[in-house]
Amino acid sequence: MITVALAKGRLARDATELLEKCGLELSELKTETRKLVLFDGSGKYRFVFVKPSDVPTYVERGTADFGVVGKDTLLEADKDIYELIDLKFGVCRLCVCGYPDSLERAGGILRVGTKYPHVTKEYFGTRGKTVDIIKLSGSVELAPVMGLSDVIVDIVESGKTLEANGLEVLEEVCKCSARVVVNRVSLKTKKELVPLFEKIRANV
Ligand code: PRP
């Protein structure tokens, strides 16, 4: 049995499509259900649907053999897992965003609203900039609009959320996309993973 952790939402839908191209029978994954554990047609693969930030945890602990998760989540989680394949979907950018003059206008300590406190600390730390990190869980763009923070570090995909709130990209932290991440022990012991990963690579 191979257990796969998928980040709920769009990444899970794209990952399901990709795994079907690799020959897995995944009709159960496409039915409307509240079940959190689902199986492929052969019963050899078990899928668990979790919050994106929990995918690295399931994989690191070996509860899942591998998972599909965004690079942004992976950077923030900083877990001991193999990042094996860039799937090239779920493409977005992690950026410092704000008003055009937010960085200049801020005082000595820049207030940064973000769902990514570790990535933010690292990014500004390597630039010698002292920051006050304000951890948020969502609607991050609201922080500079309401004066909670000077800037934000957040995901930009279409740019529409920024535009609708009068904000813009000030600096790019990194480019992100979906990745296959694998448990270290599973990669060594579950040999059946090797041909699957080869098929995934061929279908990216
Ligand atoms: C993400 C991200 C931005 C938005 C960017 O939020 O945090 O807010 O998408 O997408 P865009 O550039 O295409 O507008 P998400 O939709 O995950 O919701 P959240 O605000 O609750 O985190």
Per-residue pLDDT, 107: 80
Q: How far is the CA of 161 from the centre of ligand 1 (A)?
A: 7
Query: Which residue's CA is minimally distant from atom 21 of ligand 1?
Result: 138
* Residue whose CA is at the smallest distance from ligand 1 atom 8: 139
Q: Where are the extended beta strands (E) located within the chain?
A: 2-7, 37-39, 45-50, 66-70, 82-86, 92-98, 110-114, 131-135, 151-156, 168-176, 178-182
Q: Within a 10 A sphere around the Cβ of 166, how many other Cβ atoms?
A: 11
The residues pairing with 180 across neighbouring beta strands, listed in sequence order, are: 68, 85
- Tell me how many degrees the CA angle 71-77-197 measures, rounded to the nearest 5: 50
Residue tagged 């989540």 (tokens): 73
Digit-coded pLDDT (tens) for 42-85:
999 999 999 999 999 999 999 999 999 999 999 999 999 999 99
Which residues does a 6 A CB cutoff place in the pocket of ligand 1? 138-141, 154-161
The pTM of this model reads: 0.94
CB 134 within 8 A of CB 115: no
Segment 157-178, tens digit of pLDDT: 999 999 999 999 999 999 999 9
Ligand 1 atom closest to the CA of 156, numbered from 1: 12
pLDDT in tens, 83-134: 999 999 999 999 999 999 999 999 889 999 999 999 999 999 999 999 999 9
- pLDDT classification of 142: cutoffs 50, 70, 90: very high
148-157 pLDDT tens trace:
999 999 999 9
CA of 140 to the centre of ligand 1 (A): 8
User: What is the distance in A from the centroid of ligand 1 to the CA of 155?
Assistant: 6
Q: What pLDDT digit, counting tens, does each position of 16-32 carry?
A: 999 999 999 999 999 99
* Ligand 1 geometric centre to CA of 124 (Å): 22
